[in-house]
Structure 1
Amino acid sequence: MTERYTIALPTMTTRDDLLSGSEILDFYESGYLCPGRVFDNEEVDALRGLVASVQDRERDEGRVYDLLDPDLWPDVDEPRPTGAGPVEFLFNLWRVEPEIQPFVFNPTLARWASQLIGTRRVRLLEDNALTKAPGSGGELKWHQDFPYWPLAQPNAVTAWIALDDTDAGNGAMRMAAGSHLTGERLPSVFGTGTPYMRDQRPAVVKPMGDPAAMGFEVRTVALAAGEVSFHSSLVWHASGPNRTDHPRRALVIRFVGDGTIWLGSQRYEYNYSDAEVGLSAGQPIGGEYFPLIPC
């Protein structure tokens, strides 16, 4: 199958060196890392405009959805959290907006991801735009990323790029440092934290818990616009509501190690079907939906 997006792209970062050994060790121990700024003010402004344009276009097509919408969880009888405003989510902007591809395919981000995953080459799993509305953007409960992905191994990391300054007041992420070392937990409803898929994941018996009560140090990840944090696919993370009068926006890029095995619908009903991406359970992930990123 032809892979169309493995082209070399210029770096646009304000930091483009390799991660240090101490940074990698910190990631392995805590489950997340904040290596600094990757996009300057001009690039952040460009990203904000691109994301808003794609959101407006895709919203008209019904492809922007709210992570707190109970309809997203058909197997769970859950009400919408009281008073919670939307957490807007848009999937794979790179496939509908060519101008965003140089940001998503940034080689420095890919290099850092390859260092943190421990693979020579990485692929793009997906990108997302996340927006918490001013004054009411809702809380996301504790969760891991890996339980929602159709992969056999947690060989993936998330790069979370702030498009606005983020802190506890507008819904910055919180990390339970070291929680990734406890293994996979059951997936949970984002708005309420209710675990589900017990029958489909018989080997995963433990739901999420209160990390502070379990002895984990909970840390708020404050970022300036243009800065990035990376987190493990198994680290527990959450984010509070946006209580400010401006949006909290982020571009999220998920990287997966080349050679990771695809399980598809056998594990989780992903945004794309197995047939659509041209993969069967047990095959290494690849193809045009999951391109290699030069790094």
Structure 2
Amino acid sequence: MTNDFDADALGQAAVDAYRRDGIVCLRQAFDPDQVAFLRDVAARDMAAPSRMSNDATRDGTGRFFSDTFVHKHIAELGGIVRDSRAADVACALMRTKKVNLIFDQFLIKAPGTSTRTVWHHDATYWPVAGDMVATLWLALDPVTMESGAVEYVKGSHRWGQRYKAESFIDKDLYKEDLPPVPDIEAMRDELDIVAFEMAPGDCTIHHGLTVHGAPGNARDDLWRRAYVMRWAGEDVTYNPRPNLQPMLFDPQIPAGGPLDSELFPVIRP
């Protein structure tokens, strides 16, 4: 479901769609100045990335770049995290009064990048437990199916199953004893799969257990740059396990404790 963004209230339809489908698209949730600023920061980050960066392209063409905890690397991003509508959107959709930032991230596919984003869901990559986990994916460029629009399996966040994390680089990286993601490509006729073509400033918000994936960027004239924020609501606790996605540093939180820490700051209230 796509909704016109309301600065004061998302509306019940958006909240219901998020809870039912695990995915909502909001149009023009971020203004042109914020988008221009994030494009500039993305260019700076690609030129001088942090130690948390990755280039997932190994075989194939182009460049699939990511960098994580980027607000810790480029301090000006703290203003977007704190002062943009992102945290308020996360609160409204998850029906939580408190949100922590798990991390922020750039996900960038250069023109002609053949590497696809494998089918996965997010929550099993991270040391968190709870239902109120969401990802906000902000388009910094026009997004088309040809340039790599993300596809989401509607309702998959309520399948009652956690799937093994899938590395985009090393298939043996994650070792948690969970079943693999089903063969979504073989199940297309049985599933309700949605994708959104987007303008800069549009964003999607999906649940941490919503299965999603994306093709490569087949355009030779269009970047697919996204700024991503991962949010946790009031029911989320710290759940460290071996072989997870690396965090920037140890937050020194006991297992089962609240996320509130320097690593996972409280953004609202």
TM-score (norm. length: structure 2):
0.88
Q: Which amino acid aligns with 1:44?
A: V
Report the CA distance shift for 1:266/1:259 in structure 2 as closer, same or farther (over 3 A). farther
Matched, 1:280 2:254: yes
Q: Any residues of structure 2 matched to 1:190-205 within 5 Å, and which?
A: 190=168, 197=174, 200-201=176-177, 204-205=178-179
1:54-65 aligned at under 5 Å gives the runs 54-58=45-49, 62-65=51-54
**1:257 maps to which residue?**
233
Q: Is contact 2:52–2:67 with CA below 8 Å preserved after alignment?
A: yes
Aligned to 1:11: none
> Does 1:189 pair with 2:167?
yes
| Secondary structure of the corresponding residue to residue 40 of structure 2 | helix
**Alignment of 1:91 onto 2:68:** yes
Aligned partners of 1:107 and 1:62: how far apart in 2? 26
Distance 1:272 1:41, change over 3 A: closer
Cα distance in 2 between the residues matched to 1:52 and 1:237: 26
* Number of residue equivalences: 262
Q: Aligned partner of 1:210: which letter?
A: I
Q: Which amino acid aligns with 2:144?
A: D
The structure-2 alpha-carbon separation of the partners of 1:20 and 1:211, relative to structure 1 and needing over 3 Å to count, comes to: farther
Task: Please tell me whether the aligned partners of residues 179 and 216 of structure 1 are also in contact (alpha carbons under 8 angstroms).
Answer: no
2:59 is the counterpart of 1:67: no
Moved more, 182-191 or 217-226: 182-191
Other-structure match for 2:210: 235
> Following the alignment from structure 1 to structure 2, what is the Cα–Cα distance between the partners of residues 149 and 89?
16
Of all paired residues, the percent bearing the same amino acid is 26
Report what 1:27 is aligned to: 18
In the aligned structure 2, how far is the partner of 1:133 from the partner of 1:97?
21
Q: Deviations over 1:96-145 (max 9, x none)?
A: 22222121223522122112222211011100001101112521111100
Q: Which residue of 2 aligns with 1:294?
A: 268
1:62 to 1:97, Cα distance in 2 relative to 1, 3 A: closer
**Post-superposition offset of 1:191:** 6.2
* 2:54 aligned partner, one-letter code: Y
* Structure whose CA Rg is larger: 1
Unaligned runs of 5+ in 1: 1-13, 69-79
> Structure 1 runs of 4+ off > 6 angstroms?
none
Question: Which whole-Å CA distance do the structure 2 matches of 1:284 and 1:266 have between them?
Answer: 19
Where in structure 2 are there 5+ consecutive unaligned residues? none
